[in-house]
Amino acid sequence: MAAMEKPGDRGGTGLADAFGRRITYLRLSVTDRCDFRCRYCMAEKMQFLPKREILTIEELATLADAFIARGIRKIRLTGGEPLVRRGIDELVRLIGRRIGAKDDGGGLDELTVTTNASQLRRHASALAEAGVRRVNVSVDSLDPERFGFITRGGDLAVVLDGIAAAREAGIAVKVNMVALRDLNEQEIEPMLRWCAAEGHDLTLIETMPLGEIEDDRTDRYLPLDGVRRRIEEHYTLSPLDHRTGGPARYFRVEELGARLGLITPLTNNFCDGCNRVRVTATGQIYMCLGHEDRLDLRQALRAGDMAELDRLLDRAMRLKPERHAFRIDTPGAAPAVSRHMSVTGG
Give the residue ranges of the annotated binding site for GTP. 27, 76, 114, 174, 276-278
Binding site for [4Fe-4S] cluster, by residue number, is 34, 38, 41, 271, 274, 288
Report the candidate in 99, 83, 102, 106 with the shortest Cα–Cα distance to residue 31.
Answer: 83
Binding residue numbers for S-adenosyl-L-methionine: 40, 80, 138, 208
d(CA 183, CA 187): 9
Q: What end-to-end distance do the CA atoms of the chain give, in Å?
A: 23
Dihedral sign from CA coordinates of 116, 121, 127, 128 = positive
DSSP 115: E
Q: Is 174 helix (H, G, I), strand (E, B) or coil?
A: strand
- Max CA-CA distance within the chain? 58
**Which amino acids are annotated as binding site, given as ranges?**
27, 34, 38, 40-41, 76, 80, 114, 138, 174, 208, 271, 274, 276-278, 288
Q: In what order do the strands lie in the sheet with 134-138?
A: 237-239, 249-253, 258-263, 201-206, 172-179, 134-138, 110-115, 74-78, 25-29, 276-279, 284-286, 294-296
User: Contact, 127 vs 111, CB < 8 A?
Assistant: no
Sign (positive or negative) of CA dihedral 290, 294, 298, 300? negative
